[in-house]
Amino acid sequence: MNQQFEKINSLNGEIFLAGDKSISHRAVMFASMAKGESIIYNCSESEDVYSTIKCFKELGCEFELNNNTIKIIGKGFKNFNKPQNFLDAGNSGTTTRLISGILAAQNFESTIVGDDSLSKRPMKRIVEPLRLMGANIEPSEHGTLPLKIFPSFNLKPIEYTLKVASAQVKSALLLLALHLEEESVIIDPFNTRNHTEKMLNLKVEETSEGNKIFCSKKNYPKSFEINVPSDISSAAFFIVAALITKNSEILIRNISINPTRIGVIKILKEMGGDIEILNQKEECGEEVGDILVKSSRLKNIEIPKEIIPNIIDEIPILSVAGIFAEGDFIIKNAEELRVKESDRIKSLCENFKKVGLEVIENSDGFILSGELKNNYAEFDSYGDHRIAMTFAILSSMLGKGGVVNGFDCVKISNPKFMEQLKSLHF
Ligand code: S3P
């Protein structure tokens, strides 16, 4: 579907977004693993989280969905049903990589498949360390899906330092570790998102090598209720839109402000963004707050290497803030962008060229400079939800608007994006 956008002059009002996608995936997984009934309030409405739900239905868990409230009857320790079909993770890297750790501990064979984009994404990053724990796991000859997982009789704990800055890899290892009596220790030198650790209440020590996370069967989840805070990554699109349009003021309620996720707020504030976090509190172990954003004059800053893992999903929309800011927008040390739902370095660079910007593409990032020369453009989503929403916002800033081709992929993270954007301008 090709979506047309008209110029937006200003954004005003209040919005409430659905639950954070990363937290919702984990809530569905932990509730499915626990024995008995759990309830998730304000669950993400994303297609990705439905992919996780579908996989656990196939494994015998029961789900009752009522708007954003989900009741789950979980199966308990190593009690999943053997799946009768392939487990279809759709477009979701988080589903694939996290569920692999759980499946590696089961006494049955399973196969994970996914759509074209997911089938190209690298899986060796989980296969190699899971094998060090004794997992019997086989990717395709290209190190991708389909991923076949067989029972293993010699699983063992691990002490392992992450080689890639990936919360998905870290979580896959922790989820397998939950099935072992002896403790595993995973060291995360990159400070990647820590929802798995927080939600499972794992012991974490900050050391000079990174965060040392301890995990064993004693941390296996029990049934629970959770109210999922709203998604900061979805909020980022509206935050940037409000900053770069004149006379804007928006309030986004009850957002997850977990320190490993708010890199985007930190960078935008350093760029001169008028952003305030109000009503800060803790809910179900995660920090939440309301985010108030006002139009601002922005200037580009140097984005430090260490913060890249904390802004990895927000770099696309941050780059739109960057082209409306004084100076060049420079991203480096972000090679991980090449293996997301699309090659995001390429998707961004190709699209930015369409508005006449000077674009330099590097292996680990890109540089944007010059002026917006065109007042209308037709952008491509590359089937990637965050690219689609990024260029929806840029289209809305152009004098004569723009079009985003293949826009339906926004449902992967936020199916209500259009109505939320419309509710903020009239
Ligand atoms: C996620 C981790 C990140 C992020 C993804 C969600 C998670 O991926 O990009 O959208 O929920 O753990 P990586 O672990 O590949 O960096």
Do 286 and 301 fall within a single domain?
yes
User: Is 366 domain-assigned?
Assistant: yes
User: Is 363 domain-assigned?
Assistant: yes
Do 109 and 175 fall within a single domain?
yes
Do 149 and 248 fall within a single domain?
no
Which of 172, 188, 218 represents a domain boundary (last residue)? Answer: 218
CATH assignment at residue 280: 3.65.10.10
Ligand 1 center from residue 331 Cα (angstroms): 19
354 labeled binding residue: no
Ligand 1 center from residue 13 Cα (angstroms): 30
**Nearest alpha carbon, ligand 1 atom 16:** 166
What are the beta bridge partners of residue 135?
none
In Å, what is the CA distance from 382 to each residue of 58, 164, 389?
Answer: 30, 25, 11
Query: Which atom of ligand 1 lies closest to the CA of 167?
Result: 14
What are the beta bridge partners of residue 256?
288
pTM of the full structure: 0.98
Do 67 and 212 fall within a single domain?
yes
Q: In what order do the strands lie in the sheet with 62-66?
A: 62-66, 69-75, 35-41, 225-227
| The two structure tokens encoding residue 158 | 């691990």
395 labeled binding residue: no
Do 288 and 400 fall within a single domain?
yes
For a ligand 1 pocket test, name from 48, 92, 166, 286 the mutation site with the most ligand atoms within 8 angstroms of its C-beta: 166
Q: How many CB atoms lie within 10 A of CB 304?
A: 11
Residue with tokens 């049955």: 108
* Number of folded domains that form the chain: 2
Ligand 1 center from residue 181 Cα (angstroms): 27
User: Is 102 domain-assigned?
Assistant: yes
Do 358 and 236 fall within a single domain?
yes
Instruction: Supply the range of the domain harboring residue 123.
Output: 21-218
For ligand 1, residues with CB inside 6 Å are: 22, 25, 93-94, 166-168, 171, 193, 312-313, 336
In Å, what is the CA distance from 325 to each residue of 171, 240, 295, 320?
Answer: 36, 11, 12, 9
For a ligand 1 pocket test, name from 23, 193, 258, 307 the mutation site with the most ligand atoms within 8 angstroms of its C-beta: 193
For a ligand 1 pocket test, name from 20, 94, 170, 188 the mutation site with the most ligand atoms within 8 angstroms of its C-beta: 94
User: Is 223 domain-assigned?
Assistant: no
Ligand 1 center from residue 167 Cα (angstroms): 6
CA distance 228 to 22: 10
Q: Among this protein's residues, is 313 annotated catalytic? A: yes
CA distance 350 to 348: 6
51 labeled binding residue: no
Do 202 and 250 fall within a single domain?
no
Do 266 and 289 fall within a single domain?
yes
Do 199 and 289 fall within a single domain?
no
93 labeled binding residue: yes
Q: Do the beta carbons of residue 284 and residue 42 sit within 8 Å? A: no
384 labeled binding residue: no
Which of 218, 247, 280 represents a domain boundary (last residue)? Answer: 218
Do 148 and 160 fall within a single domain?
yes
168 labeled binding residue: yes
Q: SS3 breakdown of the chain: % helix, strand, coil, rounded to 5?
A: 35, 25, 40
Q: How many CB atoms lie within 10 A of CB 250?
A: 24
386 CB-contact burial (10 Å; exposed 0-12 / middle 13-18 / buried 19+): buried
Q: Do the beta carbons of residue 284 and residue 200 sit within 8 Å? A: no
Query: To which H or E segment does residue 417 belong?
Result: helix 417-423
Residue with tokens 């750790």: 101
Q: Which residues contact 313 (CB under 8 A, 6 or more apart)?
A: 233, 236, 386
Q: Would you list the DSSP string of 170-230?
A: HHHHHHHHTT-SSPEEEEETT----HHHHHTT-EEEEETTEEEEEE-GGG-----EEEPPB
21 labeled binding residue: yes
User: Is 353 domain-assigned?
Assistant: yes
| The two structure tokens encoding residue 374 | 């065109």
Which of 218, 247, 269 represents a domain boundary (last residue)? Answer: 218
For a ligand 1 pocket test, name from 20, 22, 52, 308 the mutation site with the most ligand atoms within 8 angstroms of its C-beta: 22
pLDDT in tens, the chain (426 residues): 999 999 999 999 999 999 999 999 999 999 999 999 999 999 999 999 999 999 999 999 999 999 999 999 999 999 999 999 999 999 999 999 999 999 999 999 999 999 999 999 999 999 999 999 999 999 999 999 999 999 999 999 999 999 999 999 999 999 999 999 999 999 999 999 999 999 999 999 999 999 999 999 999 999 999 999 999 999 999 999 999 999 999 999 999 999 999 999 999 999 999 999 999 999 888 999 999 999 999 999 999 999 999 999 999 999 999 999 999 999 999 999 999 999 999 999 999 999 999 999 999 999 999 999 999 999 999 999 999 999 999 999 999 999 999 999 999 999 999 999 999 987
User: Is 224 domain-assigned?
Assistant: no
**Nearest alpha carbon, ligand 1 atom 4:** 313
Ligand 1 center from residue 381 Cα (angstroms): 20
Query: Which atom of ligand 1 lies closest to the CA of 233?
Result: 10
User: Is 25 domain-assigned?
Assistant: yes
CA end-to-end span of the chain: 23
Query: Which atom of ligand 1 lies closest to the CA of 26?
Result: 11
Do 237 and 193 fall within a single domain?
no
pLDDT, residue 262, reads: 98
User: Is 278 domain-assigned?
Assistant: yes
DSSP state of 378: E
**Nearest alpha carbon, ligand 1 atom 13:** 166
Active site residue: 20, 48, 290, 313, which one?
313
Do 312 and 204 fall within a single domain?
no
Ligand 1 center from residue 183 Cα (angstroms): 24
